[in-house]
Amino acid sequence: MGTRGGVQAGRSRVTARWGRWQPALWIVVGAGAGVRRWLLLGFIGGGIMGVGGAYLFRYFSRATIPDFLPWRLEAVVLLAVGLAALGVASWRLYRLVGRARAGVRPEETLRASLVRHYQQERGPRVVGIGGGTGLSTMLRGIKDRTSHVTGIVTVADDGGSSGRLREDFGVLPPGDFRNCIVALAEAEPLMKDLFQYRFAGGKDLDGHSFGNLFIVAMSAVTGSFEDALAELSRVLKVTGRIVPSTLEQVQLVARMADGSEVRGESRIPNAGSRIERIGLDPEKPQACVAAVEAIEEARLIVIGPGSLYTSILPSLLVPGIDAAIRRSAAPAVYVCNVATQPGETEGFDVADHVRVLREHCPNLRLDHVLVNSNYSPLGPKFPRSALVRLREFDFPGVRLWQRDLMNDEFRGHHDPGKLATALIELYHVANGRNGPRGNGWLRLPARAAPAG
């Protein structure tokens, strides 16, 4: 029994040691962290330095080593090359591991952090266009797949805290910008909670969020709304950037089916009539330069998800945004909503959403449409909404893609992780590459119409 107990204790010690060394070993040998190439370079550099040292030893001894170079500076050259390789490898490893350690999330291993940062650096330049909950959902998921992400946010919001601040201080509505910045943030959870904190009570502060007030105050300090966004992004360690579609004060104007005209983004869904046409006042605001540049440099343009009439169209109706999409070489994909929205898209299917986009922006280049394929019941949280189903779809030149995009806990919305995975795989397939599961896509031809 004593011998058996000793053997078991020995095995336990070996297992414990292996448990301590396994994470470090996996960082070295595992793929996808960007570490092995620099370790290999370090080994090569060390080998070159060893050969250089051997040459140096030959010069001061009687040992004979064959000449590899036609001149007598073998030792100096090899030592210099080996030292340079070791220096580069050491510096890159230091930066990789240091950044991964600094950016480790709660309950995330060092290796997982290394892999995430590696994927972010190698990810494509993605531009998201929209506003509200939809754009922030997309950004929250895509930031783990690429650090080269830009959110272009509508400035038509005039409700709640944003509307009051817009009216009182003449600033662009900060609410959607705050949500998108927090979605891209890598700051501590407490800092995110602080910027999302909404005051309850008090005559003047009731309903305002701290982040909205911070943006307004920073706009006054810096003299620029764009600079205020940059400072907030720095405080919250944002991956990517957030820019407005236009720096002009615009108002959303809707013509309703009953002939009435409704002005203001917050009033349109509550007008009690079907929306026939949406527009901006002023009609042709100038596009934000940073937004146009981001679209032109993008490798993937994502339109939506979000409220069709009050989040997506307000940005696309800015002439410079529409024109930049046409000039860009990046594939443009529209992400259709999971559920219909009361006051905007009751009874809509996928084709209805695309038709409205085409009617309002006839020159809009749309290459792909990504739709949800999970038709699980929405549940009691969405009593006035229905699933957006795929019925007839006849848009030549537009590829239709289906994927389970539903958030299992909040069924009327997209799941950030599922959506990000689908978008990156679509990007790889659209560019002729096979992503992690590129061959498993269900791609429907333009005229396909599965029953819904």
Three-state secondary structure readout of 351-388: HHHHHHHHHHCCCCCCCEEEEECCCCCCCCCCCCCCEC
90 or 328, greater pLDDT: 328
34 or 345, greater pLDDT: 345
Please state the rounded mean pLDDT for residues 426-431. Answer: 90
Q: Percent of the chain having pLDDT more than 70? A: 74
Please state the rounded mean pLDDT for residues 133-147. Answer: 93
Structure tokens of 401?
């893609």
Percent helix, strand, coil in the chain, to 5, is: 50, 15, 40
CA 191 and chain centroid, separation: 20
How confident is the model at residue 104, as a pLDDT? 66
Query: Is the pLDDT at 101 greater than 70, yes or no?
Result: no
Query: Is the pLDDT at 430 greater than 60, yes or no?
Result: yes
Poorest-confidence range of 193-197, 314-318, 369-373, 386-390?
193-197
Buried b (16+ CB within 10 A) or exposed e, 295-306: beebbbbbbbbb
Task: Summarize pLDDT for 150-163 with one digit per residue, the tens.
Answer: 999 999 999 889 99
132 or 289, greater pLDDT: 289
Q: Of 299, 353, 296, 354, which Cα lies nearest the Cα of 320?
A: 296
How confident is the model at residue 28, as a pLDDT? 46
Confidence of residue 440 (pLDDT cuts 50, 70, 90): very low
Task: Confirm whether pTM is higher than 0.85.
Answer: no
Q: Of 166, 167, 195, 163, which Cα lies nearest the Cα of 181?
A: 195
Task: Summarize pLDDT for 216-267 with one digit per residue, the tens.
Answer: 999 999 999 999 999 889 888 898 999 999 999 999 999 999 999 999 999 9
Please state the rounded mean pLDDT for residues 12-28. Answer: 49
Query: Which residue type is seen at 83?
Result: L
Query: Which residue type is seen at 146?
Result: T
Average pLDDT, the chain: 83
Please state the rounded mean pLDDT for residues 316-328. Answer: 96
Taken in order of first residue, the domains within the chain and their CATH numbers are 31-110 (no CATH), 123-155+245-444 (3.40.50.10680), 159-164+171-240 (no CATH)
Query: Is the pLDDT at 191 greater than 90, yes or no?
Result: no
Please state the rounded mean pLDDT for residues 417-436. Answer: 84
Most confident range (mean pLDDT) of 18-32, 183-197, 387-401 is: 387-401
Task: Summarize pLDDT for 62-82 with one digit per residue, the tens.
Answer: 555 555 555 556 666 766 777
| Other beta carbons less than 10 A from residue 333's beta carbon | 23
Task: Summarize pLDDT for 26-36 with one digit per residue, the tens.
Answer: 444 455 556 56
Structure tokens of 95?
């930066």
Give start and end residues of each alpha helix (H) in 34-159: 36-59, 74-102, 110-122, 132-142
369 pairs with which residues across the strands? 334, 400
Q: Percent of the chain having pLDDT more than 90? A: 57
How confident is the model at residue 109, as a pLDDT? 74
343: phi > 0 → left, psi -120 to 50 → alpha, else beta; which?
left
Query: Is the pLDDT at 448 greater than 70, yes or no?
Result: no
How confident is the model at residue 85, as a pLDDT? 75
Radius of gyration (C-alpha) of the chain in whole angstroms:
28
Poorest-confidence range of 15-24, 244-253, 348-357, 398-407?
15-24
How confident is the model at residue 47, as a pLDDT? 67
Confidence of residue 92 (pLDDT cuts 50, 70, 90): confident
**Both ends of the chain: CA-CA distance in Å?**
68
322 or 16, greater pLDDT: 322
How confident is the model at residue 174, as a pLDDT? 94
Task: Summarize pLDDT for 44-67 with one digit per residue, the tens.
Answer: 766 666 666 666 655 666 555 555
Q: Distance between CA 356 and CA 303 in Å, rounded? A: 14
How confident is the model at residue 31, as a pLDDT? 52
How confident is the model at residue 419, as a pLDDT? 97
